[in-house]
Structures are given as C-alpha cells and as structure tokens.
C-alpha cells in the first residue's frame, strides 16, 4: 500500500465517524439548549462544547477527509485538485481547526474545575459556579484560542498557484519560531498545563467521591444524581485526556528530534493519523457518554425525538384519595428538575 492509498483508506474510515459525531453533537446541542438543562452551569458549558465540537468536525472534514477522496477519475485532475485543495485548506482552514480544538480543550478544563468546586468546595459553588461567570469564562476561552492560534495563519504560504510551501515552520530559516511557538508554547498550553489541571482536579474529585461513599451510606436522591453527573463528567474528561495523550507524545518527540517526524518516516505518518483519529473519535462519542450516564439527558432526548414539549417549571395536578369516604382532593405537585 502506497501513501496515497493509505490516506484514501483512512479518509473513508474518518467519514462515517465524523458524520455520526455531527449528528450526536447536534442532538446534544438540542438537549442542552432546553430550559431545564441551561439552569445549571454544567448544562451551559456542555451546550457551548457541543457547538464547538460541531464546528471542529466540520473544519476537520476538508483537511483530513475530502482532500484524499477519489472525486475525479482523471489522474491529472485528481492530482491537481489534491494539491490545490490541500494547499488552501492547510493555509486557511487548519488554523481555524486549531482554534476550535483549543476551545474544546479549555472548555473541558473549565468543566473539570467546575466539578472540583462543586464537589470539593460546595460552599463556594453558589458564588463561583453561576451562569454569568460561566459565560465570561467561555468568552475568555474563545478569545484566548483565537489569539493563541492566530500565528498559524503564517505557517504556510501558497506558491505556483497550488503548491503549499512551509514558511514559518521552515526549521532552517525560522528555527526560533519552530522551537518557541510550535514546540514549547504548544506543549505548555495545548497539553501540559490543561492536562496537569485536569489530572489534579480529577484526582481530588475522585477522592472526595470515595470518601462520601464511605461516610454517607444513605445519600438523598438529588445527591446521588449529582454524583452521577460528576461521574459522567469524569468519564468525559479522562477519555478526552487519553485521546489527546498520543498527540502530546508526537509533539514531544518532534521537539526532541527537532523536526517533522511525519516527513521522514511513513510509520510516523501512520502514528500521526492515529492521533488525529483519536481526537475525532472522542469528539464524535460524547453524545453516547451523556446518554449512558445522564437519566435527565435521556428523558429530554426522548421527548425531543417524540416531539413532546417539556417544561420542568409547569405545575401539574394529581388527584389522590385522602379520606376514608373515597373522596378525592386536588394535590398540587411541582416537578423538580433532575440532575444534568
């Protein structure tokens, strides 16, 4: 199997995963945009994350899928399209893809911090974990992701009409840029710092959950639902860290060898594609984690696909027998929102 056949094969593998991911994240967006979900900061964060992941999957498609699919039978047209489309998508779409990736990464960090505050600092949660503070943090993350990844627009330039040439990533002409920005800053802000925060916060959350299970044997219903929410978000963040771990390893290897390993060995190319697939797989699978761990998510999702309007704020009347004569009296009950 030559290189082009390999890339064509992996594109056909990516395509259904991305399609499922788009459907799943759109379904998550529909669920988390409902009023019961947006009452909590977790629901607001997961709503934003669903939108970011949809955009990320859309931007990944032209760079890693469409460019390698056999869209033309003529070999020259195929080669010309490949080189032209790859050049312009690398030049303009790839930086946008990295911006959304950074947004997704730091939203996961924010979710982890929110759970740490809710579990380990419950008295401060009502003050810190508000939708207003969450929105401010989300806006800051978006601005930071745009500013931090803006230099990537200068990584490549278009030459001869269709050829994409390395510019700032030329290790001979711009060694300082390659080492300081592409390697050092990228390792710190794309991997080391967020992973360190998530590791420490998740460790304390897991310890707190273990201690609560040991001390409190009869937890209230709402408390148990809060724990299920925390466990769900733990699964999401730990799975996220695992899927990005191999990408960090590749970045560290490039920093040690001082160049692009994917340009020197076909095996490193395969490994790089494996890291990309893991990121796509995680982005496409979050819906199934939400669905599996959150009863409230499942209930609202089922209501949506059945076209049932849902409002947890509407009072309902229940008629119950209250005396020995068999008469009934109206008892007003109010549905309480379940945990996310």
> Which residue do the tokens 């779409």 mark?
93
Question: What does the alpha-carbon distance between residue 229 and residue 216 come to, in Å, rounded to a whole number?
Answer: 18
What is the maximum span of the chain, computed from C-alpha positions, in angstroms? 94
42-46, 91-95, 147-151, 237-241: the lowest-pLDDT one: 237-241
User: pLDDT tens across 63-119, in order?
Assistant: 888 877 776 555 555 566 667 777 788 888 989 999 999 999 999 899 889 888 888
First to last CA, the chain: 47
More confident residue, 171 or 176: 176
Quote the pLDDT of residue 216: 47
Strands 328-334 and 315-321: antiparallel
Q: How many CB atoms lie within 10 A of CB 142?
A: 18
**Banded pLDDT at 155 (limits 50, 70, 90):** confident
The answer, as to whether pTM is greater than 0.85, is no
Q: What percent of the chain has pLDDT over 70?
A: 74
114-123, 175-184, 186-195: the lowest-pLDDT one: 175-184
Question: What does the alpha-carbon distance between residue 195 and residue 191 come to, in Å, rounded to a whole number?
Answer: 6
Quote the pLDDT of residue 262: 62
Question: What does the alpha-carbon distance between residue 162 and residue 157 come to, in Å, rounded to a whole number?
Answer: 10
**Residue 47 pLDDT > 80:** yes
Quote the pLDDT of residue 162: 57
Question: Of 60-64, 101-105, 212-216, where does the model show the most confidence?
Answer: 101-105
> Which residue do the tokens 């080391």 mark?
192
**Residue 339 pLDDT > 50:** no
**Banded pLDDT at 8 (limits 50, 70, 90):** confident
SS3 332: strand
The number of helices, as runs of H, and strands, as runs of E, in the chain is 13, 4
Q: All domains of the chain, ordered by start, with CATH?
A: 3-309 (1.20.1070.10)
Q: What percent of the chain has pLDDT over 90?
A: 20
Quote the pLDDT of residue 240: 81
User: pLDDT tens across 218-275, in order?
Assistant: 445 455 555 667 777 778 878 887 887 888 787 777 767 655 666 667 777 788 888 8
> Which residue do the tokens 């710092």 mark?
193
Question: What does the alpha-carbon distance between residue 255 and residue 251 come to, in Å, rounded to a whole number?
Answer: 6
């Amino acid at each position: 199997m030559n290189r082009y056949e390999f890339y064509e094969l992996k594109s056909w593998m990516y395509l259904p995963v991305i399609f499922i991911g788009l459907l799943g994240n759109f379904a998550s967006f529909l669920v988390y945009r409902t009023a019961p979900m947006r009452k909590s900061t977790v629901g607001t964060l997961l709503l934003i994350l669903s939108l970011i992941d949809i955009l990320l999957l859309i931007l990944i498609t032209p760079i890693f899928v469409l460019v390698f699919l056999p869209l033309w039978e003529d070999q020259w047209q195929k080669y010309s399209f490949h080189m032209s489309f790859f050049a312009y998508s690398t030049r303009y779409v790839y930086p946008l893809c990295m911006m959304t990736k950074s947004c997704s990464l730091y939203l996961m960090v924010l979710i982890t911090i929110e759970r740490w505050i809710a579990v380990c600092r419950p008295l401060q949660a009502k003050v810190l974990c508000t939708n207003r503070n969450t929105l401010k943090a989300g806006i800051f993350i978006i601005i930071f992701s745009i500013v931090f990844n803006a230099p990537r627009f200068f990584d490549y330039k278009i030459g001869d009409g269709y050829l994409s040439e390395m510019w700032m990533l030329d290790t001979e002409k711009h060694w300082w840029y390659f080492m300081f920005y592409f390697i050092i800053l990228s390792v710190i802000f794309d991997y080391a710092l967020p992973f360190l925060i998530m590791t420490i916060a998740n460790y304390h959350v897991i310890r707190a959950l273990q201690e609560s299970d040991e001390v409190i044997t009869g937890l209230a219903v709402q408390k148990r639902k809060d724990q299920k929410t925390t466990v769900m978000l733990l699964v999401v963040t730990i799975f996220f860290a695992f899927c990005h771990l191999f990408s960090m390893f590749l970045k560290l290897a490039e920093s040690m060898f001082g160049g692009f390993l994917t340009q020197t060995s076909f095996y490193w190319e395969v490994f790089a594609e494996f890291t990309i697939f893991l990121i796509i797989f995680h982005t496409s699978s979050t819906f199934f984690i939400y669905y599996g761990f959150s009863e409230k998510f499942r209930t609202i999702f089922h209501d949506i696909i059945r076209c049932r309007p849902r409002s947890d704020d509407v009072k309902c009347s229940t008629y119950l027998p209250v005396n020995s004569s068999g008469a009934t009296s109206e008892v007003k009950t109010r549905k309480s929102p379940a945990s996310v």
